[in-house]
A = this chain, B = another copy of it.
Amino acid sequence: MIGLADVEAAATRLREVAHVTPVLMSRTLDRMAGGHLFLKAENLQRSGSFKFRGAYNRIASLPPGTAGVATYSSGNHAQAVALAARLAGLKAVVVMPEDAPEAKSAATRGYGAEVVPYDRYREDREALGRRMAEERGLVLVPPYEDPVVMAGQGTAALELLRKVGELDLLVVPVSGGGLIAGSATAAKALFPSIRVIGVEPEAGDDTKRSLEAGERVRIEVPRTIADGLQVNVPGELTFEVNRRLVDEVVLVTDREIVQAMAFLCERMKVVVEPSGAAALAAVLAGKLDVAGRRTGVILSGGNVSAARFAELVSAD
């Protein structure tokens, strides 16, 4: 569906636009884990998460004369689309739940997007997004169900691997599955023997179950502090990629996520949101065999308010 060439084309579009985020390393961390860890700090990406990569790749691929874009998201994809559209000089409309945190809608408006509120208990956001797009002549930029979005997300792994070389494992948080689909595509093309591991919250194991069942399994909307990972069914397109390329999905508890956030704060000096810390949480909680190996870990985002962050890292 997508290949290395698509991810490389995305990297070319993102050059000088996305940040080349740093790869964080620490002897202390390596000693704790018993292997070499390479943390790709997408919390330092523009708009605060890897989502900028996919959104910009999609928007920069639109034909000239496009009026603007629309999307539905209460989270990182909203801010990513808003910023990417502004950089491309396009109008952006974001359908967002009317009870979304004020900080998130403010950030989205801050990047110049129009926020259209909806009632999450009575309205279907995808249908609403599609209708907005049709009525106003906008192009819908979905959060993960799009090969060009997936290819953009894959540039996170491509950059990491180009910088540090071959890895034995690549550990990636899983929500709709776009980040891991793009990342696995790039990683397995470059290094066929790399193992690509997804991480989901215990309560939100839809992709793990789906891979085990060999088909998409829908679960209850999960209750977890990892608000970016609250998807309850894998995407159709992403699942097609992930069933072939993802070797395993492991689960982490909210407590393990908070411990990873506190570690990242105290030892690595970075602010990572709960969803963004899930992959490292799996490593620190001993759920993966990283001993003596070279393991890449994607810290996928950092969009959390200072107050909420403080509450979480001091709770442990």
Contact A306 B269 (CB under 8 A): no
A11 to B316, CA, bound (A): 40
Check A265 for interface membership: any CB of B closer than 8 A. Answer: yes
Contact A265 B314 (CB under 8 A): no
Check A12 for interface membership: any CB of B closer than 8 A. Answer: no
A305 to B269, CA, bound (A): 10
Q: What sequence of 0s and 1s flags, for each residue 19-38 of chain A, a beta carbon within 8 Å of any chain B beta carbon?
A: 10110110010000000000
Do A306 and B265 form a contact, CB below 8 Å, given A28-B110, A270-B270? yes
Contact A269 B310 (CB under 8 A): no
Which residues of the partner chain B approach A262 to less than 8 Å between Cβ atoms? 306
How near does chain B come to A106, taking the closest CB pair, in angstroms?
A: 11
Closest 3 pairs between A and B when the two form their complex, measured CB to CB: A269-B302, A310-B310, A310-B314
Of B25, B307, B316, the residue contacting A314 (CB under 8 A) is B307
A88 to B130, CA, bound (A): 61
Q: What sequence of 0s and 1s flags, for each residue 267-304 of chain A, a beta carbon within 8 Å of any chain B beta carbon?
A: 01111100000000000000000000000000000100
A43 to B26, CA, bound (A): 13
Contact A269 B22 (CB under 8 A): no
Which residues of the partner chain B approach A60 to less than 8 Å between Cβ atoms? none
Which residues of the partner chain B approach A43 to less than 8 Å between Cβ atoms? 269
Which residues of the partner chain B approach A313 to less than 8 Å between Cβ atoms? 306-307, 309-310
Contact B269 A265 (CB under 8 A): no
Check A211 for interface membership: any CB of B closer than 8 A. Answer: no
Tell me the nearest residue of chain B to A86, going by C-beta: B27
Check A266 for interface membership: any CB of B closer than 8 A. Answer: yes
Residue pairs across A and B with Cβ atoms less than 8 A apart, 18 shown, are: A21-B22, A24-B44, A28-B110, A44-B268, A44-B269, A48-B269, A262-B306, A265-B309, A269-B271, A270-B271, A271-B271, A306-B313, A306-B314, A307-B314, A309-B313, A310-B310, A310-B313, A311-B314
